Structure formats: structure tokens, C-alpha cells
Amino acid sequence: MKSDLQWMQAQVVALRDVTPTVREFELRPESGFAASYEPGAHLQVQVMTAQGRLQTRSYSLVGEGDGQCWRIAVKRLDDGRGGSLAMWQLAPGDRLQVSAPQNHFALDLSAPGYLLVAGGIGITPLVLMAQRLGAHAKRSGVPVKMLYGARHAGEFGYLPHLQEALGENVAAHEGSKPIDFQAAIAELPPGGQLYTCGPVPMLEAVKRAWEAAGRAPADLRFETFGSSGRLATQAFTVRIPRHDLSITVPADCTLLDALDAAGVQTLSDCKRGECGLCATDVLSVEGEVDHRDVFLSAHEKAATTRICACVSRAVGTLTLDSAYRADS
């Protein structure tokens, strides 16, 4: 039960290491024409991992397009599920399957002010937003500010692009010291919008500050890459009594993919822990759930009665329900 996508073949025409851990890929579709896109758009990409698993990954499109190629950036995760390592094995001339651009993180140019917040590789969808908003601000005078966080100076891969677009309105925050989101939100005009992408802990901190400021939930727009959690990624066991099944979810496989492989159909769409379509009822937990989504509320996560199967994981054993009902 997945969204239908139209796939096409694309060729890797160029590579560039933006930082020691982030590599940019220039992809040219076989048609020779790269469809245009708006800020917030992404590509779905199919990659074959070293374990022989075909995985689908979502990568934001970086910067303005040229009509011939698309640019995406991939952070190397040595302890991930293998998708980033497979991408880093690609060389110019290699081919892979990609989708047409999709967008679930669109930019609204009607707001009276903007705050962009990026953490690490979460900068990728915000590069084009910063470029468009920088031009928009020059025409309209609408205030635009950006907060860009990274663990160390060497990871600010797109900072020059952002400074070119927004000038002194970009603030780079290096290290683990918390960013004062409340102060930045307080400077945003009433009705202003905040766009953010980054690791789940950062997104949760932004959401708390936004709610504490009494801002309208609809004016907070976010996207996540759903790969960061509190607990180390490892294999865990899932029981589904309604199907009389017990399966192991490997460290390099999502719960959603493991359920699908076992014949347990689960609705899904974004596969980034944002839409909640794949949220599955949890009957019991022997161990601990690592919620990596931004869909469930803090109360729901604490109750552990549902889990977003596309990104969240566990340590130990989960017992889940499913939508399956035997014919009466």
C-alpha cells in the first residue's frame, strides 16, 4: 500500500564533497531534461546496499535547477542502514533510478516574515528557500533570518551560498550549545512563518519554543530526515499476533520495510516520520521504543501506544496490531 511513483533512469555526471561527510551528486535524467521544481522539493532515489537490499531514499534538491541536471547531497552515515554508503560508492557515469521531483515542504511567499532553521544535512532543502527569500526580501522588504547549526566549522557546507543570499541575516551556530530559538521566534513578526529541517531533537526543541511563544501551529513548517534517534540502531523483534508472526527487523532495515516483506501491509507515504500514515498500534513493549518521527505528540510518544513504522525503531521486542481482519 504505497504511493505510486514514476521512475526514470538518471546518470551521475559529477560529484563534489561539500564537507568531509557530505557529498553532492549531479544527476542527469535519461531524457536530458530535468523538470523544474520549487523550494522544498525532493527526489526519491533507489539504491542497492552492500547487503543486496534495494532501498528507496528521499533527498532534497539543492539550489536552483538548470533544466538539465538535479543536485542532491548525501551525508555519509557509517552506522546507518546502508543507503548513504551505497550512494557514496557511486562514480560519474553510474546510473540509478530516480523519481520526478515531489514537494511536501513548499514555501509560502505571502507571510510577513520568515525564520529558517537548519541542523546539519537538514540545510539541503533550505538552500533554495534562502535564495528565493533573499530575492523576495529585496523586492518586498519582508524580514528573513536564518539559524544554521552544525557540530563543527567544517560541516557548514553551504554557508557561502546562504550568506550570498541573505548576507548578515545568517547566524552559524557551531558545537553542541543549545540555540536560543525562543529569542529568534520573538523577533519574527506576528503571522511570520518558520521553516526548519534537521535532526529530531532539534525539531522537537523548535516545536517546544514555537508552542511556548503561542504561535499558530500552521505557521511552523518542517521536514526531517528521520535517521536520528536517542538509541543506537540495532536489530529488534516484532510480534504481530493477528498474523501469528514474529519477525526480526535488521539494523539496516526499517520496521515498515520489514512488515512489508513479511506480508503485513501498512499504509505509508512520506517515509520520513512526518505524515503519520504508517502509525501502527503498539500492544506491548519489552524494552524501549525509539521514536524518530515528528508526527506523534510528546504525550503520544510517552504513552507508546503507536509507532511510526517508517522511521522509528526499538530495542528489545514490540508487539503490534495490524489493520488485518479475517473475513467473517
Q: Does 325 fall in a domain?
A: no
Q: Does 229 fall in a domain?
A: no
For residue 306, which amino acid is it? R
Note whether 91 and 118 are same-domain residues. no
Note whether 145 and 220 are same-domain residues. yes
CA 279 – CA 277 distance, rounded (Å)? 6
Residue 1 confidence class, pLDDT cut points 50, 70, 90:
very low
pLDDT higher than threshold 70 for residue 291: yes
257 Cβ neighbours under 8 A, 6+ residues apart: 55
- Residue 207, pLDDT score: 92
Q: What domain range is 309 assigned to? A: 236-320
Residue 322 confidence class, pLDDT cut points 50, 70, 90:
confident
Which of 39, 71, 103 represents a domain boundary (last residue)? 103
Note whether 78 and 129 are same-domain residues. no
Q: Does 109 fall in a domain?
A: no
Note whether 45 and 76 are same-domain residues. yes
pLDDT higher than threshold 60 for residue 263: yes
Note whether 90 and 28 are same-domain residues. yes
Which of 196, 224, 252 represents a domain boundary (last residue)? 224
Query: For 251-279, what is the mean pLDDT?
Result: 89
Note whether 214 and 123 are same-domain residues. yes
CA 301 – CA 285 distance, rounded (Å)? 13
Question: Which of residues 80 and 278 earns the better pLDDT score?
Answer: 278
Which of 191, 224, 257 represents a domain boundary (last residue)? 224
Would you say 28 and 13 are in contact if contact means Cβ atoms under 8 Å apart?
yes
Note whether 118 and 217 are same-domain residues. yes
pTM for the model: 0.83
Note whether 92 and 120 are same-domain residues. no
- Residue 302, pLDDT score: 92
Q: Does 230 fall in a domain?
A: no
Domain harbouring 184, CATH code? 3.40.50.80
Note whether 207 and 246 are same-domain residues. no
Domain harbouring 68, CATH code? 2.40.30.10
Query: For 155-166, what is the mean pLDDT?
Result: 95
Residue 227 confidence class, pLDDT cut points 50, 70, 90:
low
Domain harbouring 286, CATH code? 3.10.20.30
CA 207 – CA 216 distance, rounded (Å)? 11
Q: Which tens digit of pLDDT belongs to each residue from 180-223?
A: 999 999 999 999 999 999 988 899 899 999 999 999 999 999 98
Q: In the chain, how many domains are there?
A: 3
CA 72 – CA 303 distance, rounded (Å)? 37
Query: For 1-10, what is the mean pLDDT?
Result: 74
Which helix (H) or strand (E) covers residue 184, if one does? helix 181-186
Q: Does 108 fall in a domain?
A: no
Question: Which of residues 50 and 178 earns the better pLDDT score?
Answer: 178
- Within 175-219, strands assigned E span 193-198
